[in-house]
């Protein structure tokens, strides 16, 4: 069973980058004997696709999509944003927090 072990190792190293198992295919592999194969859509960077080049702290609507309900910045592995844009997004979110456009935390 190469798939589960590969998956676990990729989860352990949280630094991102192109990982072989995710790159290899959308399928999550067999979940077990007779188990349903779950289908994972390939994630794409919203900023690259929609060609949004400036990430601004004033654009609350945009930034809100990358903030969890608790107020935390959503990790790249969940949103699919590329490294470059994630860095800009997180910087913008931090600026927006400072001027009370976004919360630091929601309880």
Q: CA 63, CA 55: separation in Å to the nearest integer? A: 8
Which of 21, 63, 90, 97 forms a contact with another protein (CB under 8 A)? 97
CB of 87 to another protein, least distance (A): 14
Do residues 80 and 45 touch, judged by C-beta distance below 8 A? yes
Figure out which of the listed residues 58, 72, 84, 87 binds another protein, where binding follows CB under 8 A.
Answer: 58
15 DSSP assignment: T
Q: Which member of 2, 51, 61, 69 binds another protein (CB under 8 A)?
A: 51
Residue 22 structure tokens = 């995710």
4 touches another protein (CB under 8 A):
no
- Site membership for another protein, residue 15 (CB under 8 A): no
Question: Nearest-5° angle of CA 38, CA 70, CA 46?
Answer: 55
Q: What are phi and psi of 73, to 5 degrees?
A: -75, 130
49 binds another protein (CB under 8 A): no
- CA–CA separation, 40 and 56 (whole Å): 30
Among residues 6 and 73, whose Cβ is nearest to another protein? 73
Q: Which residues bind another protein (CB under 8 A)?
A: 51, 53-54, 57-58, 95, 97-104
């Amino acid at each position: 069973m190469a798939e589960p072990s590969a998956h676990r190792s990729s989860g352990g190293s949280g630094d991102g980058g192109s990982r072989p198992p995710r790159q290899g295919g959308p399928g999550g592999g067999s979940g077990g004997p007779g188990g349903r194969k779950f289908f994972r859509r390939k994630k794409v960077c919203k900023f690259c696709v929609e060609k949004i080049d400036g990430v601004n702290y004033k654009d609350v609507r945009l930034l809100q999509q990358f903030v969890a309900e608790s107020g935390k910045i959503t990790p790249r592995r969940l949103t699919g944003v590329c490294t470059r844009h994630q860095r800009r997004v997180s910087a913008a979110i931090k600026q927006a927090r400072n001027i009370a456009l976004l919360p630091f935390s929601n309880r």
